[in-house]
Structure 1
Amino acid sequence: MKLSSWPANQQARVVSLGIESGRLRARELGLRPGAIVRVTQRTLFGGTVLDIDGGRLALDRAAAARIHVEPCDGVPMPKAIS
């Protein structure tokens, strides 16, 4: 399923990125295949804000539509370090 259509506040495991520009930066920020993410917010023009390992990452609509995710029930989200 595409990340752009994944429901908010539901955990997902990233299957593939499908984004070429900015791919290295996305990987540095924790967005890579196998990562557990949660959609925390949808923006006005179709963007998506993700929680990745306690950090936040905003993606535009086109990037979110290229990322594929799958359900990962039973996997707890990592807690943010205070």
Structure 2
Amino acid sequence: MNLSAWPLGRAARLVSTDFPTGSLRAKELGLRPGAIVRVTQRTLFGGTVLDVSGSRLALDRTSVRRMIVEPLDVEGALS
């Protein structure tokens, strides 16, 4: 599922990203396959604020649309 459609407050596992440039920077920020992310806020113009390993990241609409996530199983769910 595309991260732009993911519900607020629910944790997900990042499956893949398709950033044309800056993928190294995204990995440095923790946005790599397998990372657990949580959408904490949606902004007025389509941006999204994520919680990634306790850090908050603000991403633009285009970047969020390029990220594919999957639901966590019961054992991997965050409380």
Q: Same fold per TM (> 0.5)?
A: yes
1-structure distance, mates of 2:22, 2:46: 19
Q: Percent identity?
A: 64
Equivalent residue number for residue 44 of structure 2: 44
Residue number in structure 2 paired with 1:31: 31
Task: Check whether the contact 1:11–1:73 (CA below 8 A) recurs between aligned residues.
Answer: no
* TM-score normalised by structure 1 residue count: 0.88
Residue identity in the other structure for 1:57: L
Give the root-mean-square deviation of aligned CA atoms. Answer: 1.1
Where in structure 2 are the equivalents of 1:1-82 lying within 5 Å? Answer: 1-74=1-74, 75-77=76-78
User: For each residue in 1:37-82, what CA deviation from the matched residue of structure 2 results, as whole angstroms up to 9, or x when unmatched?
Assistant: 00000011000110000001111001100100000033244xxxxx
Gaps in structure 2 of 5+ consecutive residues: none
What is the TM-score normalised by the length of structure 2?
0.91
Structure 1, unpaired ranges of 5+ = 78-82
Counterpart residue type for residue 41 of structure 1: Q
CA contact (8 A) 1:14 1:37 kept: yes
